[in-house]
Amino acid sequence: MEKLLITGGKPLEGEVKISGAKNSVLPILAASLLSDEEVIIGNVPHLQDVTTTISLLTEMGATLSIDEKMKVCINASSVNKFYAPYEMVKTMRASILVLGPLLAHFGEAKVSLPGGCAIGSRPVNLHLEGLKAMGANIKVEDGYIIAKTKKLKGAKISFPTATVTGTENIMMAAVLASGKTYIKNAAKEPEIIDLANCLRLMGAKIQGDGSSNIIIEGVKNLKGCNYDVLPDRIETATFLVAAAITRGKLTLTHTRPDTIKIIIEKLKKAGAKISVKNDIINIETKSKLDAVNIVTNPYPDFPTDMQAQFIALNSISKGKSKVVESVFENRFMHVQELVRMGADIDINGNTAIIKGVKDLTGAPVMATDLRASASLILAGLVAKGQTIVDRIYHIDRGYECIEEKLTKIGANIKRLPK
Ligand code: UD1
């Protein structure tokens, strides 16, 4: 397995162009299944999860081309297999996003049930209950969700927990259903608005996205479109922490500062100097930061996808801090690895208590999931000596050209072959 070798200690300086958002492009790629016309998607990040989704759509029979600028052009009129196999779903849970569009457009779908994953059990019961309320006939057999319908009907769906991909699946099912669908306690993440913007361009009638009440009026069919995905707020925030942890100076371009207000607020509170203009964020950190307390929760609160990176930052900041993980039950796998690098962290249930240490030291560490990998790389960038991050395939799922981008701003980071 490939590894990353990082020699820490250099402040990062320079400019980083932020890529398109992983969590936007995946549902938007799935949305292409809703139309018989060409859907062209721009600002597509070069990520393993995108490659997996593209293979999935191709396997289903979609016609697909990608140009040198990563513009993806999909025509789903030739889709004739309505099937997402276990081999694909197990590497990428977001494959579940094809369920709603397949049912809505073709009336049937067979999608592997995602299993547990490193960060918790992550069920899809709410996706299934929502689709059942819309009239789908759903059974689970041999680890597969088998869903059929003559025609989905609008319904009133109230989620007991706000779910991001659950909201997206129901939205995509509802755009072609007969009548109106009301989603209560919908997720409010910027990626939901991005999907709604793309669907509206295809002719869908959606209101209220970005709030907890979404109303969708079904239409007969959707047309093609040409749409650029939103910049990645988690990549943006990860590079802000990279500047903060190495006491560097970065300019992030092609981003959307309004989608990470809480991150900017926390970093400013910790002592980083940040300025924002249009799609650019400047950050400068000259001295050690103060540790900050965090509680993860759905948007617009602090994102669970930035928890691991902030634990790395807090572990070498001044003072004691508390980080509470409220979204996933088992998302502290990076902590033991950070402790091996000299961090002082205690876990009690869903709370991590971090006492800032003077220095971290390089060590061989193991990445367990996507955001955990990012936190170990950040720790490696500031640690004394060399850090080897193993199982780096996780990072390639969600960060485009991570070592190229880091090298360009002065990091000493190298990919070691298998
Ligand atoms: C999405 C993001 C992921 C992010 C997460 C939380 C994508 C592709 N992934 O994941 O990066 O970490 O949101 O912001 O967009 N739940 C249920 N039943 C369900 C569905 C969810 O109980 O049917 C629970 C989950 O266990 C979790 C909570 O709801 O505790 C939120 O999960 P959810 O928003 O669904 O996460 P994902 O959509 O899988």
Residue 60: pLDDT band (50, 70, 90) is very high
Distance 144 CA to ligand 1 centre (A): 19
Widest distance between CA atoms in the chain: 64
Residue 89 above 90 pLDDT? Answer: no
**Which residue minimizes the CA distance to atom 5 of ligand 1?**
164
Q: Tell me the average pLDDT across 124-150.
A: 95
pLDDT of residue 265: 98
Show the tokens assigned to 223.
């047309």
pLDDT of residue 118: 66
Report percent pLDDT > 70 for the chain: 98
Contact 405, 4 (CB under 8 A): no
* Full DSSP string of 222-276: B--EEEEPPB-HHHHHHHHHHHHHHT-EEEEES--GGGGHHHHHHHHHHT-EEEE
The rounded distance, in Å, linking the Cα atoms of 190 and 168 is: 12
Nearest atom, ligand 1, residue 298 CA: 14
**Which residue minimizes the CA distance to atom 32 of ligand 1?**
163
Tens of pLDDT, residues 235-291: 999 999 999 999 999 999 999 999 999 999 999 999 999 999 999 999 999 999 999
Residue 117: pLDDT band (50, 70, 90) is low
Sheet with 225-228: strands ordered across: 63-66, 72-75, 38-42, 225-228
Residue 116 above 80 pLDDT? Answer: no
Residue 384 above 70 pLDDT? Answer: yes
* Choice among 117, 198, 225, 401 that is catalytic: 117
Contact 95, 89 (CB under 8 A): yes
Distance 134 CA to ligand 1 centre (A): 21
Residue 95: pLDDT band (50, 70, 90) is very high
Between 365 and 88, where is the model more confident? 365
Say which DSSP state 91 is in: T
Assess whether 117 carries a catalytic annotation.
yes
Report percent pLDDT > 90 for the chain: 91
Distance 304 CA to ligand 1 centre (A): 10
pLDDT of residue 418: 78
Q: Considering only CA atoms, give the Rg of the chain.
A: 21
Please tell me if the CB atom of residue 125 comes closer than 6 angstroms to any atom of ligand 1. yes
Residue 120 above 70 pLDDT? Answer: no
Nearest atom, ligand 1, residue 305 CA: 12
Sign of the dihedral through C-alpha 121, 122, 128, 133:
positive
Q: How far is CA 1 from CA 86, 387, 417, in A?
A: 22, 16, 7
Q: Tell me the average pLDDT across 138-155.
A: 95
Average pLDDT taken over every residue of the chain: 96
Tens of pLDDT, residues 204-231: 999 999 999 999 999 999 999 999 999 9
Between 84 and 330, where is the model more confident? 84
Residue 401 above 90 pLDDT? Answer: yes
Please tell me if the CB atom of residue 124 comes closer than 6 angstroms to any atom of ligand 1. yes
Name the residue of 125, 171, 262, 327 to mutate for ligand 1: max ligand atoms within 8 A of Cβ: 327
Helix (H) or strand (E) holding 389: strand 386-390
Report yes or no on whether pTM surpasses 0.95.
Answer: yes
* Full DSSP string of 2-31: -EEEEE--PPPEEEEEPPBPHHHHHHHHHH
Distance 13 CA to ligand 1 centre (A): 34
Tens of pLDDT, residues 155-174: 999 999 999 999 999 999 99
Question: What are 389's strand-pairing partners?
Answer: 4, 365
Residue 91: pLDDT band (50, 70, 90) is confident
Closest by CA position to 331, among listed 47, 26, 95, 122: 122
Residue 121: pLDDT band (50, 70, 90) is low
Show the tokens assigned to 287.
């001295």
Identify the burial level of 327 via C-beta atoms within 10 angstroms of its C-beta, where 0-12 means exposed, 13-18 middle and 19 or more buried.
Answer: buried
Between 1 and 186, where is the model more confident? 186
The rounded distance, in Å, linking the Cα atoms of 329 and 121 is: 8
Residue 393 above 90 pLDDT? Answer: no
Residue 408: pLDDT band (50, 70, 90) is very high
Contact 248, 285 (CB under 8 A): yes
* Full DSSP string of 94-117: GGGGGHHHHHHHHSEEEEEPP--B
**Which residue minimizes the CA distance to atom 22 of ligand 1?**
123
The rounded distance, in Å, linking the Cα atoms of 128 and 157 is: 11
